[in-house]
Amino acid sequence: MGGLTMQKEYSFDNTLEESKAPQSIAIMLDFHRTSDMITESSAEIFINLIDTLRKQFGGQKAYICISSHNQKSEQIKKILDELVKFTNKDIILGPSFFYGGIYDYNTNTEYNMGAFFNSNKVKTFQEYYLKNLEFNIGWIALIDDSISYNTHKYYKNYLPMVAIKPSQKSYNPYANFMHRESVIDNIFGVIELLEEYIKDIKGMSLADVLARQSKLISHLSEFEIQTLIKKRDFKTLYEYLHSEVSDENLFEKIYELLVKENSDDPFELTDKFYIDKTFNLLKSGVSFREKIIEAKSLAYKNK
């Protein structure tokens, strides 16, 4: 089956600057509530948008993959039947994935890969597209109505990408440059978000996109904040709290985590600068004023 050999392995340590050959792009398109309402006209718009991205990022190939948790490929084929009407030699309908197997549209063949194959759609896509260096992928779009908000964080410093999430019940206040959501259903929400992304990256190269991604501050969960404190990464914690995406409802919890961590293992004097800045920032929550004053007596290791 063409395109599925894996002699070379992708490494996120490879920077764009190190890539000698112009790079292609790859798109993972979910089925249910993402593309199953596709029409001939929306398929044409979608392909034109992908072609625009392909040309902007070096004019190489664009690979499109349908990924589904359905157990057969019939519904995948229906989507590809619409898309193929508008593809060209540079826009390729690559291997697609269903629950338990791979579908090759070019030969109309299913390959049984065993139970649980493609249970994690992003992981499968990564294995067959990013880890196969024959594709030479330099940018990806992960398009899925159920994609996790945290997915984009994995690629932030390594690979230009966008996560697109249509068919949502409400707007996500933490959506950002890399993770985009729409309340518009199905392929029409996908088209809306791709059009917005293309406007936002106008004139940007892959390296430009990666540079912007690397500066992005995304919303953090309570667990991620706790991890920063455990790692004593107070600079990143302060920068996050100072950003527009921090959640003031967690300020009290963050305060408690800091005090507990200090009690368990006193902070180093080298940490004092960003700890003080963090506590001063937490003062913006009026209800913590007294607690913050008390926290000035935190213990520090004498070194």
CATH of the domain at 167: 3.40.50
Residues 159 and 102 in one domain: yes
For residues 99 and 190, state if they share a domain: yes
Average pLDDT rounded to a whole number, residues 198-212:
97
Domain membership flag for residue 256: yes
Q: Within this chain, do residues 152 and 286 fall inside the same structural domain, yes or no? A: no
Q: pLDDT tens digits, residue range 260-285?
A: 999 999 999 999 999 999 988 887 76
Q: Are residues 230 and 129 located together in one domain of the fold?
A: no
Residue 290 lies in a domain: yes
| Cβ contact 218:179 at 8 Å | yes
Both 184 and 234 in one domain: the answer is no
Among 63-67, 150-154, 240-244, which stretch is predicted with the lowest mean pLDDT? 240-244
Provide the pLDDT for residue 289.
Answer: 59
What pLDDT, on the 0 to 100 scale, is given for residue 300? 75
Task: From 214, 247, 262, give the residue that closes a domain.
Answer: 214
- pLDDT value for 50: 98
Mean pLDDT of 209-226: 95
Instruction: Spell out the residues 6+ positions from residue 246 whose beta carbon is closer than 8 angstroms to its own.
Output: 219, 220, 240
- 4 falls within a domain: no
User: Is the four-CA dihedral 180, 183, 189, 190 of positive or negative sign?
Assistant: positive
Residues 192 and 270 in one domain: no
Average pLDDT of 53-80?
97
| HSE-up of residue 128 (Cα within 13 Å, Cβ side) | 27
Residue 120 falls inside a structural domain: yes
11 belongs to a structural domain: no
Lowest mean pLDDT among 85-94, 171-180, 249-258: 249-258
Look at residue 12 and tell me whether its pLDDT is greater than 80.
no
Task: Please indicate, yes or no, whether residues 160 and 285 belong to a single structural domain of this protein.
Answer: no
Please identify, among 165, 187, 214, the residue that sits at the C-terminal boundary of a domain.
214
Instruction: Residue 230: give the domain boundaries.
Output: 222-301
The one-letter amino acid at 180:
R
Angle 222-230/251-264 helices, nearest 10 degrees?
30
pLDDT band of 251, cuts 50, 70, 90: confident
pLDDT digits (tens, 9 = 90+) for 128-157: 999 998 999 999 999 999 999 999 999 999
Q: Which pLDDT does position 294 carry in this prediction?
A: 56
79 within a domain of the structure (yes/no): yes
Percentage of the residues of the chain whose pLDDT score is greater than 70: 88
Question: Are 210 and 145 members of one domain?
Answer: yes
Q: Among 168, 183, 214, give the residue marking a domain's end.
A: 214
Q: What is the pLDDT of residue 280?
A: 85
Co-location of 230 and 98 in the same domain: no
Same domain, yes or no, for 47 and 174? yes
pTM beyond 0.95: no
To the nearest whole number, what is the mean pLDDT of the chain? 90
Residue 5 falls within a domain, yes or no? no
**Residue 152: both structure tokens together:** 């984009």
Q: How many domains does the chain have?
A: 2
- Do residue 130 and residue 238 come from a single domain? no
Rounded mean pLDDT, 155-172? 97
Asked if 133 and 9 count as a contact pair (C-beta separation under 8 A), the reply is yes
My answer on whether 145 and 205 are in the same domain is yes
Whether 255 is in a domain gets the answer yes
